[in-house]
Structure formats: structure tokens, C-alpha cells
Amino acid sequence: MLFDLIPFSLLVTVFTIAVIFVGVLTAVAYLTLLERKVSAWVQDRVGPNRTGFDFGQPWLKFLRGFFGLGQPLADGVKFLLKEDVVPGYVDRVFYYLAPMIAVGTALLALAVVSVGDTPVPPVLQTLSANSSSADSPRRVFPATKSELAAMNSTTNLSDVRAGYAQYNNLSTIKFAIAPNVDIGFLFVFAIGGLAVYGIVLGGWSSNNKYSLLGSLRSSAQVISYEIPMGLSVLGVLVMVGSLNLERVVDWQARHGWLIAYQPLAFVLFLTAIFAECNRLPFDLPECEQELVGGYHTEYSSMKFALFFLGEYTHMITTSFLTAALFMGGWHLPWLNDWLSPSMTGNFDLSYLFALLIKLAVFVAKMFVVIALFMLVRWTILRFKFDQLMALAWKGLMPLGLMSLLGVVISRQFMPPGMGQWGFQCAFGLVSLVIVGVVSLLLPTEAPKTVLSISRGRSHSATSAPELASRAS
Amino acid sequence: MTAIAEKNVTWVKPPRLNLAEQIYLPSVAQGMITTLKHLVKTVTGLNATSTQQYPEQQPVLPPHYRGVHRLNRDEQGRVKCVSCYMCSTACPAHCIDIVAAPSPWPDREKYPETFVIDELRCIYCGMCEQACPVDAIELTTIFSLTGMSREDMMFDKEKLLSVFDQTVKLGTDPVRTRGGRLSVAAEPADAGLTGSSSAQS
């Protein structure tokens, strides 16, 4: 029998992959429509509203319109059927590789992000007899030799096995391709950092100056935003004590959302993921106004669509990540009491209902972040190259360090709960003001070009040699 | 020798930011509120968009719009043109081709035997209209013209007269030029064969 040879968990994983993959691809397609709609609404326009599902057939006229809901489908067909132009002067290997990297890394990063209430596996310490309280740091691994000895002497391994057996019970639905990866969001950032290679290689292999400028900017951007991003999530790590995304959400469900604890870190993280997703105000690698199309100038049809797909998938991933790290994941304060969390694995209707509600809450939070992406696009102008570097190195990085310092101090000296919350918020605000004041006091560079207003004499009298002599 | 005298140069210093501006966040919040306002107003319909749903909803064009040409008819339904070649001489694109013949009517010497305008070559500048001494050629508000071939876009006399019938008799374009003066505004209210200046519906 075939089914005897294949482990059932493998089938479940393949099924999860299929569902999440199709879900994300559909979401990406409709996000492009939403993006166009939001752009139109912000600019007092109507936006795409004609493309329905009639495919131009008169007998399907009743399917026309629908607020342009057929637009993604039409776009997809267009991308598939358009001529795929490969310029003659490109570096073939990397030119073909770049879109694959872009979309592959984006989808890979999505693998560890859970989209619903995925249960947390038991921790060695909580099962062991010497776990002091629920608020103690839930470390999986002992930190000191004495702890290790204590753990070895007291932990009943059969208890742990029983816990894991219960966790692996198939009736507990896990809303992630790879649930409970212990390196959790570190994995997302590592893979997300690789996504830049798609941009860099694509721009470089195109052998086009605009593309090259785009990828140059991208590589300069990546060294600017990744450090503030890492610093901002370090605070989360210090508070929760785990990189595991499900555990972060679980911690927030019990102690309150981390956006309330660390609003400053949240803002830093948000700014950094805007840069990571190449969204305005940090869309330097692909700014149409300056670089034609940026790194994907030379790409057409499906290869361009792959870049597009990777970018939007990255947006979805980081939005889920933001929701999980700072906004409590599937948790809503009053809803959580109403829907008692069921970990027993009994597959009853109320459990399924609770799961679906939590899934909806998680997805709704993700959409809040996506909406923020889209609104910011039409609010803040694109940063200039040096402005981005200055913002990241003079603004975001000191703020990230201060935020981390505040978290560490509160974690060490303040009582958990309100004490830590108040201290972290106050410290964040104070550090924001301090960094602001310091950056105001910093000597500003004398502007190189100063607006000169000439009256009474026309510029046309100026000859080229005169200009040259003035410049020297 | 300097190109610009020193007294003519004003040196402008960029203004210093205050603390709120340096932190960015208040300004960003302010901008987000503006963006949201536009979004909400457009979605709820408080802010009327100026979008026209084109094929169903035709644009209201001003009467002096320069679209497809027409050859005007006089009161007896004859072509007004007297084949003076003023329009084809004035035409910068050389798209008007006239073959003159002795007029069958006693009130003029010549009339156009053929009158062909290459609508693809035309740049719609309206100089033919200005040059015409008898107000025979005019540009209408018809802006969307299509054809299956280049030959289709060579409008001959019959076609141009039919454009006149279509636009004037149906009331979409009044006769614009009269006695050498342009524009509807210069005309009395009862001028033109029909008084209506509304666009085609």
C-alpha cells in the first residue's frame, strides 16, 4: 500500500504547502488589485472597475464589472502569454537565476510563518518539577551547568515524550508549513536577507546602467536597514526568550501585546520592513522616475511577474511577521476569553470555530499592516540615497540600541507586567526625544549648492567658458 | 568677469527643523491623516471623482474642439466649397486633395469634383478652417475615428458631407464659422442650423 509507505504527517505537510501556496498566490494577485484601488482612492480616482470575468464574450456580459475583480486573472494571463524578451547582452546564467532567487526566497521565508493558532510544543522546563512560575523565562535549553544538572535530575523524559506525542496529535491543526521552528523569525530574516541577491543579480546581469544603479542602491540599502531591524526584534527576543514565532504569540496572549510594551521598536521594525520590501519611501532599487524600472528594467513577461510575485509575497510574509511579533498574532483580548483555547486535540466544532476565528483575526491584522504599506506609499516621499543612509545610521540605529537598552533594564530590574510596560514605554519616548535633540545639535553639513536668484541680467549672456571658470 | 553680479544673487539657507520635524513621526502622522481623508472620502462618495466612464459616458467637449473634418452644406443642401484651394494651401500636413470642376450652379465658378482629406496625415491644427473664405470646411467634436485600412481613412467628399449631416442635423455640432468669424460665442443665439452645442450623447 502506498499510504503505508508515506508517513501521514508528510501528506499533511504537502497539503498545508498546497493550501498556503495557493492562498498566498491568490492573495498576491488580489493585493495588486487592492494596491491599484487604494492608489486610485487616495488620488480621488476610481481605479480598475471594468475587468470582470466575461473575457470579452458577449454571452458572458452579466459577469462584467464586479469592481475589477477579474483584473488579476487578466494580468496573470497577460504575463503568461506575453513575449519573453531576453536581451542579447545579458549574463544568461544570473539573468535567469535572479527571478528564481527572488521568488524562491520569498516563498521559503513564508514556510515558518504561521497564519493561525498553531499550538506551542511543551517545553522541557515547564514539564519539569523545578519550573518556578509561569512568568519565568521559558528556556528550552539550560543556560548554566547547575541548571543542566537540575534539569537532568528532575525532568521526566517520558513526560516530555507524552507531551510531544500529544502535540503531534494530528487533530491539532497547524497553520504553518513548518510549525514551531525554533530559530523562527531569525530564519525569516536570514532568508529575507538572501532575497536581496535576486535584486542584485538581476540588476547586475542585465548589463544595463539603470538596472545596475538599482541593484547598487539595493545592496547599499540592505546594509542600512538590516541592523535597525535586528535591533528592534532583539527586544522581542529579550522579552519572550524564544525565537519561535508560535511561542512569541503565545507569550503575548498571556502577557499583552508587544506593541504596547515597545512602541518604539515597533516603529523601527515597521520602517525597516518597508525598506526590506522595497516599498515607498524606500523603493530606491526600482524607482520608476529615476531608473526607468530599476533592477527589473530588462525583464519582461513571466520573469518580471516572478519579481513582482516575490515582492508581494515578501510583503505578506513581513506583514504576518509584524502581526506575530508585535500585534499578538491570533490573539484578541476579549475574544481570547470567550474562545477558550483548546489544546486537548479533541476535534469538535467549537474548537474548529475558535481556530477559524483566530485565523480570521490573524489575517485581519496582516491586512492592517498591508494597508499601512499602501497608505504610506502615498504619504511619504521617496528618500534620497544619502538620506536613507543617514536615517538608518544616525536615527534608527541609535534608537534601536536605546530601545534594546530599555528592554534589558526593565527585564532585569522591573516587576513583570505593568512595571515593565511603563518603563519600556517611557524609556522609548525619552530615547526618541534624546536622539531627536542630539541629531538637531549635530553640525549640519554646509549645503553645497545654494539657490541663487538672479535679477536684472539674463543667464543667456553666460558663455560656457565663463561657467567653467566659475566652477573651478 | 563674473556672469552674475554679486548684488543679484540671493543666498538662501535651508530652514532649521524643530524637534517634532526632526523626529519625523508627527509629520508622518499628519500626512497619513491627509491620505486617509482622501481615501475615506472617495470610498464613501463624499469626494466626487472626475472620472468619466468613457464608452458609456461621452465627454462633454467644447464646441471649438478640433476633431474630424466636415464639409458644410448651404441652405439648398449643396456643398459650400468653391474649390479655391485655400485650405489645401494652408494645410501644413498637405493632407487635403481637391480636384476642381466648373460649377453646375450659377452662383459660383467652381465646385469640388473630388475633395479628399487624409485623416491619418492630418494634424488637426484647424488652419483649413481658418483659411476657408466661405466657411465650407470645419472641424467637429468627433474625436474617435477608426478604420480597418488606410484607404478607409481617406475621407472623400461624400463622407465629409455625411459627417456634416451627422453632426449638424443631429445637433451635436452647430455651424461654427460665419462670415469669417470663428467660435460659437461670436454668433447670435439663433445662429447655426441648430442652436444646440451639446456633445453627442
Residue A158 confidence (pLDDT)? 62
Using pLDDT thresholds of 50, 70 and 90, give the confidence band for residue A8: low
Using pLDDT thresholds of 50, 70 and 90, give the confidence band for residue A293: confident
pLDDT digits over B52-103, tens only? 888 888 888 887 788 899 898 887 888 888 898 999 999 999 999 999 999 8
The one-letter amino acid code at A144 reads T
State the average pLDDT over residues A314-331: 88
Residue B96 confidence (pLDDT)? 93
A-contacting residues of B 44-103, CB under 8 Å?
A: 47, 49-51
Distance, in Å, from the CA atom of A445 to the CA atom of A35, rounded to the nearest integer, reads 38
Say if A413 falls within a structural domain: yes
Q: How far is B26 from chain A (nearest CA, A)?
A: 12
Q: Do A457 and B5 touch (CB under 8 A)?
A: yes
Say if B161 falls within a structural domain: yes
State the average pLDDT over residues A7-22: 80
> Residue A40 sits in which domain range?
24-81
Q: How far is A46 from chain B (nearest CA, A)?
A: 7
CATH number at residue B123: 3.30.70.3270
Interacting residues of A194 by C-beta distance below 8 A, sequence separation 6+:
A101, A105
Q: Would an 8 Å CB–CB cutoff place B146 in contact with chain A?
A: no
At A39, list the grid cell. Answer: 492608489
At A122, list the grid cell. Answer: 511543551
Q: Do A432 and B23 touch (CB under 8 A)?
A: yes
Counting one residue from A and one from B, how many pairs have CB atoms under 8 Å apart? 86
Say if B114 falls within a structural domain: yes
One domain, residues A44 and A180: no
Q: Of A314 and A130, which is predicted with more confidence?
A: A314
Task: Tally the domains of chain B.
Answer: 1
Distance, in Å, from the CA atom of A36 to the CA atom of A367, rounded to the nearest integer, reads 15
At B130, list the grid cell. Answer: 481658418
Contacts of B43 in chain A (CB under 8 A): 41
Q: How far is B22 from chain A (nearest CA, A)?
A: 6
Yes or no: say if B143 and B60 are a contact pair by the CB < 8 Å rule: no
The dihedrals phi and psi of B143, each to the nearest 5 degrees, come to -110, -20
Q: Do A379 and B34 touch (CB under 8 A)?
A: yes
Instruction: Using alpha carbons only, give the angle A25, A29, A34 rounded to the nearest 5 degrees.
Output: 135
CA dihedral of B28, B33, B37, B39, whole degrees rounded to 10 = 50
Q: Do A436 and B12 touch (CB under 8 A)?
A: no
Distance, in Å, from the CA atom of A58 to the CA atom of A60, rounded to the nearest integer, reads 5
One domain, residues A286 and A394: yes
Distance, in Å, from the CA atom of A299 to the CA atom of A206, rounded to the nearest integer, reads 8
Q: Sign (positive/negative) of CA torsion A60, A64, A66, A71?
A: positive
One domain, residues A331 and A377: yes
> Residue B124 sits in which domain range?
69-186
Residue B170 confidence (pLDDT)? 66
Beta-ladder partners of B111: B101
Is the model's pTM score more than 0.80?
Answer: no
Contacts of A457 in chain B (CB under 8 A): 4-5, 8
Q: What is the radius of gyration, based on Cα positions, of chain A?
A: 26
Q: How far is B88 from chain A (nearest CA, A)?
A: 40
Say if A424 falls within a structural domain: yes
Say if A236 falls within a structural domain: yes
Task: Tally the domains of chain A.
Answer: 2
Q: How far is CA A38 from the centre of its chain?
A: 20
Q: How far is B10 from chain A (nearest CA, A)?
A: 5
Residue B184 confidence (pLDDT)? 44
Which ipTM did the prediction report?
A: 0.73
Does residue A218 carry a pLDDT above 70?
yes
Q: Would an 8 Å CB–CB cutoff place B23 in contact with chain A?
A: yes
Distance, in Å, from the CA atom of A152 to the CA atom of A150, rounded to the nearest integer, reads 5
One domain, residues A67 and A94: no
One domain, residues A67 and A208: no
Beta-ladder partners of B101: B111
Distance, in Å, from the CA atom of A38 to the CA atom of A279, rounded to the nearest integer, reads 15
pLDDT digits over B125-174, tens only? 989 988 888 888 888 888 888 889 998 899 999 999 988 888 877 666 77
CA dihedral of A52, A57, A62, A67, whole degrees rounded to 10 = 10
Q: Cell numbers 571658470 correspond to what residue? A: A469
State the average pLDDT over residues B168-191: 56
Q: Count other C-beta atoms under 10 Å from residue A193's C-beta.
A: 16
Contacts of A43 in chain B (CB under 8 A): 38
